[in-house]
Amino acid sequence: MQLLLVVALTVAALLAPPASRLFAAGATAPPGAVAGAVTGARPAADDDTVPAVGRTWPVGVRPRVPRGWEPPATVYGPGHRGVDLAAAPGAPVRAVADGRVSFAGRVAGKGVVSVELAGTGDPPLRTTYEPVRASVPQGAEVTAGEVIGTVEAGGSHCTAPCIHWGLLRGGTYLDPLSLLPPWLLHRGPSRLLPVLGVPLP
């Protein structure tokens, strides 16, 4: 039964028109369809490739991912338009790549920071982070790894403290993990280190 559901959703996703064409045709997103500082989202470009420009995780070194990206079968269909990263309240949140803060404020009671990433096309890629108490103003230029805020204690949709990390080009959601190069996504092989006086086998 689950296999049939997966096949049906895959077929629906393949047959559905790209979100960029829907927005270009004048369709408007319902309230809440575009999270955090996205009210002025422009039509998405036809190219949805994502360059691996990320240089750090938004939180921690390699945080646990309680829920990954689940693209909806249709523009307004159910899904998870981002990635949840486990993070304790008060933990620093960092820009994953160089860019400009396009929004820093509150949306529906949640703290949101959005950063347009430099050199990622037109419209540029934009990352969103919530719930985050911003420590940078709108319009600020930030570099990869720079702290842009801290995780807020409330406002998360996770069962345990987390931040929701999103990625958009125009009005189209993309997988934020695709920003990270392989060396950040995967831990390298374990290496044995020599101990004084104990030779390695």
- Which are the contacts of 192, defined by CB distance < 8 A and separation ≥ 6? 200
| pLDDT value at residue 81 | 81
| pLDDT value at residue 196 | 52
* Encoded tokens for 20: 């960029």
CB 148 within 8 A of CB 136: yes
Q: 105-114 long-range contacts, Cβ below 8 Å, gap at least 24?
A: 105/37, 105/134, 105/138, 107/35, 107/36, 107/37, 108/32, 109/155, 110/36, 110/152, 110/155, 111/149, 111/152, 111/155, 112/35, 112/36, 112/37, 113/36, 113/148, 113/149, 114/36, 114/37, 114/38
- Which are the contacts of 146, defined by CB distance < 8 A and separation ≥ 6? 94, 95, 136
| pLDDT value at residue 79 | 64
pLDDT in tens, the chain (201 residues): 444 444 444 434 433 333 332 222 233 232 233 333 333 333 334 446 889 999 999 999 899 998 887 877 776 777 678 899 999 999 999 999 999 999 999 998 899 999 999 999 999 999 999 999 999 999 999 999 999 999 998 767 777 889 999 999 998 899 999 999 999 887 555 454 555 554 544
Q: Is the pTM of this model over 0.85?
A: no
| pLDDT value at residue 148 | 98
| pLDDT value at residue 112 | 96
